[in-house]
Amino acid sequence: MAHVRNEAFIDWMKTDGWTALELARALNAVIRRVTQKTSARGELSEVTVRKWRSGETTWPQAKARMALEQVSGRTAADLGFLPPDRRKTRTAPEDPLLRRTFLVAAPAAGAAALSGAAPSVGSGDVLRLRQQLDTVNALDDQRGGHDRLEKAALAGAAEAVALQERAATQRTRKKLFALAADYTATAAWSCVDARELPRARTHLDRALYLAGLAQDPATALRVWNSMSMLAYQQGNHAEALAAGQAARTTAITRRDPLYASLAHARTAIAHAYLGEHHAALRSLDLATTSLGKADADVPRPSWISFHGPAELFALTAVVRDRLGDAPGAEAASFRALAALPAAFRRNRALATARLALAQLHQGDIEQATATTEQVFTEMRGAPLPGRIRALLGDFHRDLITLAPGSTTVLDWADRYRAEWSRPCNRPTP
């Protein structure tokens, strides 16, 4: 009789990165904890998991179902398993003693919770925290860094760290540490974007520690990328280069060219500010080549979703302008704005401010000041993040240098002060 492969179970294993052997070991660990039995007799094996995958076994035994549901955070039915029709099956019934053990397990867990012992944590909690992190990152895309985003991210990190103490498996524990690192990196990024630099450094140090506990190279790259940006904001371009190079050497860059592209682009900016023209352009070329090799369909954390052709054009504009190629910076800014989705309001406003600077550096004062109006329009109804305010401050200084005392400069300064005084742009008490 031909078996029908359990595609739902196969997809879940692939998405969560389980091998048959690793899953069997994780399930056995849960079973031993619930039954408080240390004997290896009757434990699940790699063969058992393969039978589930192939469809040879369509309904695991009670102990296996319980463990599988705890590890996955899903029901057996959600994983594609089908209960047998007991009127037609002739298979032997499950061991009554075993059945009693697992029928009692759920009420016992409730009693344990009432007595102070909390239930173990599985993939369901990991999925919930990951979805919440996606929401926080989406808010960052819309508004940029601000204190409430920072606090929400730190609360998520604290919850992930607390939950890892009750993780059902070591794999779940690592995932929770990785989430804690991601949340903390988001808090740090919020501070970088808002230019709250001392707090950003504290959060990044913590995020790097948590990423190490998680053994998660993707999060480690994220932290090094943010450290490079922080050093850039502080004017320490040698440190920015060192952090970018650390990001470039993380293991994830060898496996996924999208991460490699981001790391190369970050080092290109540092090289440009250090006056290393050839190295900056070479890093940009490597970033472009790596991005061209990246598979957009590969599942990745939500934080990396910002990096793509639009972001690389925006970073190219920074490099080109710093190297004295204002026309190249203007062209790259236009390409960034053409490719940036509307949801990335903060990034669109940043790219627009960069476009205005490139136009100003070509002496086109009227066009440049007109372009900055689009920055205010883009962020209408939301506070201007610190990075945008800093860029507009750079624009103002360069404008005064090029046309001191002109009517255009005075009008623009009045416009900027009016925008700055709007209630949504005043610092939160």
- What are the domain boundaries of the chain? 1-82, 121-215, 324-334+352-429
> Checking phi first, is residue 36 left (phi over 0); if not, alpha (psi -120 to 50) or beta?
left
Least trusted range by pLDDT, from 11-15, 174-178, 209-213, 268-272: 11-15
Q: What is the DSSP string of 142-189?
A: HH---HHHHHHHHHHHHHHHHHHTTBSSHHHHHHHHHHHHHHHHHHHH
Residue 88 binned pLDDT confidence (cut-offs 50, 70, 90):
very low
> In 10 A of CB 401, how many CB atoms?
10
pLDDT score for 91: 40
* Average pLDDT for 400-422: 78
pLDDT of residue 163: 85
Which range is least confidently modeled, 86-95, 124-133, 162-171, 242-251?
86-95
Least confidently predicted of 46-55, 97-106, 155-164, 365-374: 97-106
Of 185-189, 322-326, 373-377, 381-385, the one with minimum mean pLDDT is: 381-385
Q: Which two tokens stand for residue 48?
A: 């058992």
Dihedral pair phi/psi, residue 386, rounded to 5° = -55, -40
Placement of tokens 């056995």 in the chain = 28
For residue 307, the one-letter residue type is: H
Write out pLDDT tens, residues 35-54. 656 555 668 888 999 999 99
The CATH number of the domain covering residues in 1-82: 1.10.260
Query: Cβ distance 224 to 246 under 8 Å?
Result: yes
pLDDT at 264 over 90: yes
Once rounded to an integer, what is the mean pLDDT over residues 65-85?
77
**Residue 167 β-bridge partners:** 121
pLDDT of residue 233: 86
CA 206/CA 172 separation, integer angstroms: 20
pLDDT category at 276 given cuts 50, 70, 90 is: very high
pLDDT digits (tens, 9 = 90+) for 173-207: 888 998 999 899 888 888 887 778 888 889 999 99
DSSP string, 269-316: HHHHHTT-HHHHHHHHHHHHHHHHH--TTS---GGGGG-SHHHHHHHH
